[in-house]
Structure 1
Amino acid sequence: MATYTLPDLPYDFAALEPHISGKIMELHHDKHHATYVAGANTALEGLAEARESGNLANVNKLEKDLAFNLGGHVNHSIFWTNLSPNGGGEPEGELKAAIDEFFGSFEKFQAHFTANALGIQGSGWSVLSWDSIGQRLIIQQLFDQQSNTAQGTVPLFQLDMWEHAFYLDYLNVKADYVKAAWNIANWENVAQRLEVAREKTNGLLVLS
């Protein structure tokens, strides 16, 4: 059975300092993300065993475990590439044009995304997504690791609002963490994701 694996970071742990410390990045990647990978693989193994034995009593729990842990793996895999020590500033080209079209301006998008992030109750993510049905950019709140986002949407830019992502550096001042994250946003990566999402998802889901 194919298993999920922990991707390497595309930069050193300390590369995002002073915005995110190397200590947080090491713990976040090597401990938290690794735990999601292990949890997803364990859930897959449990589901395979349940099917083989015919004992499906634990399927409900295992499916929830898979959704949570696979969500954590996917979210973090995107998150690492959404950040760069050479990031910050404002997007250019097609990404800038799309942001201007659907949010009015980068400043309005930034304010909307920030309010979305700070408004999350408990743990979750603020997500800029491509809506393949409406063919537009939208911002969503992802609860925990796997819920509250619409099917047919493709995550392009994600900000982790779980406390483990910022507490060692910013304590409970989430606003300072979000403000710092804009300085390391990898808009080139987001632009690449937008290009692929537009090309590959048009017509993929048919509502009829």
Structure 2
Amino acid sequence: MVNIGSLWQYLALHSTLSGDSTNTNNTANNLAKMGLAAYTLPALPYAYDALEPHISAQIMELHHARHHQAYVTNLNKALESHVAAVAAGDVAAQIALQQVVKFNGGGHINHSLFWKNLAPAGSEDASVAQAKGLVAEIEKTWGSFDGFKTAFSAALMGIQGSGWGWLVKEAGNGAGLRIVTTKDQDPVVGGDVPVFGVDMWEHAYYLQYLNGKAAYVENIWNVINWRTAEERFAGRSEEKTEL
């Protein structure tokens, strides 16, 4: 269960995310009048075709420009309605909007993290050599890197319906690594730090892999950004990845 108060806090920490947006000017202007900045679609750190052949340009454009943009647009609209409900003292409307904020806010958070934990196959960032500290901890936890990949892939394949698979660094000093899954667009919460995640919604792979989910899971390993994963694991990332 995602705590809605924690999600509000997380979104507040992400208020500086920037990029192209097709949000209406009315929503942005209304949020500005309420003292809130409208969320915008973050630009990808690579071209839409950069992850081919493992993830097609068609999927990346649709996933980023349509699906992620929809989460951003609907989040801004929900925030606008929520602030208006607070001002009106309409508690029922505030409660009704919490699920909308959780779903679209989570979608924005998860995808913003996802784009950065991908990199073109064969690039330096996609080399596991960039994650020496993380790999050492993975081998300590799962016995071998291949053992970890097998466990993580099994967790992804075990997701029923739509959701995400994550490697997280547990909250607290000296905490270890674990694999978690989240339902729909629920983000990682509770202080755990997402090291990297994989989107298991059908929109992430269906145009290319059809019902071949296993092939998508196998090929996603070719485009993991291990440099970003190492930075998140070591706490050097500037991203706000924990609540």
C-alpha contact 1:130 1:197 (8 A) present in aligned 2: no
C-alpha contact 1:118 1:175 (8 A) present in aligned 2: yes
Looking at structure 1, the residues matched to 73 and 96 of structure 2 have their Cα atoms a distance apart, in angstroms, of: 16
State the secondary structure of the residue aligned to 2:92. coil
Q: Which moved more, 1:61-70 or 1:119-128?
A: 61-70
CA 1:197 to 1:98, structure 2 compared with 1: closer, same or farther past 3 Å? Answer: farther
Counterpart residue number, 1:24: 59
Unaligned runs of 5+ in 2: 1-35
Counterpart residue number, 1:90: 128
Counterpart residue number, 2:100: 65
Counterpart residue number, 2:147: 108
Of residues 63, 74, 81 in structure 1, which corresponds to 2:109?
74
CA 1:20 to 1:156, structure 2 compared with 1: closer, same or farther past 3 Å? Answer: same
> Equivalent residues in 2 for 1:163-202 (5 A)?
163-196=202-235
Q: What amino acid does structure 2 have at the position aligned with 1:59?
A: Q
Counterpart residue number, 1:49: 84
State the secondary structure of the residue aligned to 1:13. coil
Find out whether 1:99 has 2:99 as its counterpart: no
TM-score normalised according to structure 2 size: 0.78
Find out whether 1:154 has 2:193 as its counterpart: yes
Q: Once the 2 structures are TM-superposed, how far is the Cα of residue 60 of structure 1 from its aligned partner?
A: 2.0
Q: Once the 2 structures are TM-superposed, how far is the Cα of residue 88 of structure 1 from its aligned partner?
A: 4.2
C-alpha contact 1:130 1:156 (8 A) present in aligned 2: yes
Counterpart residue number, 1:135: 175
Find out whether 1:11 has 2:54 as its counterpart: no
Q: Once the 2 structures are TM-superposed, how far is the Cα of residue 43 of structure 1 from its aligned partner?
A: 1.4
Q: Once the 2 structures are TM-superposed, how far is the Cα of residue 61 of structure 1 from its aligned partner?
A: 2.2
Looking at structure 1, the residues matched to 193 and 229 of structure 2 have their Cα atoms a distance apart, in angstroms, of: 11
Counterpart residue number, 2:30: none
Looking at structure 2, the residues matched to 152 and 104 of structure 1 have their Cα atoms a distance apart, in angstroms, of: 25
Counterpart residue number, 2:74: 39
1:132-183 deviation per Cα after TM superposition (whole angstroms, max 9, x unaligned): 1371111001100116x55121111100000000000000111100111001
Looking at structure 1, the residues matched to 69 and 184 of structure 2 have their Cα atoms a distance apart, in angstroms, of: 17
Q: Once the 2 structures are TM-superposed, how far is the Cα of residue 97 of structure 1 from its aligned partner?
A: 1.1
Q: Which moved more, 1:118-127 or 1:90-99?
A: 90-99
C-alpha contact 1:90 1:187 (8 A) present in aligned 2: yes
Q: Once the 2 structures are TM-superposed, how far is the Cα of residue 185 of structure 1 from its aligned partner?
A: 0.8
Q: Once the 2 structures are TM-superposed, how far is the Cα of residue 197 of structure 1 from its aligned partner?
A: 7.3
TM-score normalised according to structure 1 size: 0.90
State the secondary structure of the residue aligned to 1:10. coil
1:96-132 deviation per Cα after TM superposition (whole angstroms, max 9, x unaligned): 1111122221101100110000000000011001111
C-alpha contact 1:154 1:197 (8 A) present in aligned 2: no
Identity of aligned residues (%): 47
1:40-96 deviation per Cα after TM superposition (whole angstroms, max 9, x unaligned): 111111110011011222222211111111110111011111110125453532111
State the secondary structure of the residue aligned to 1:129. strand
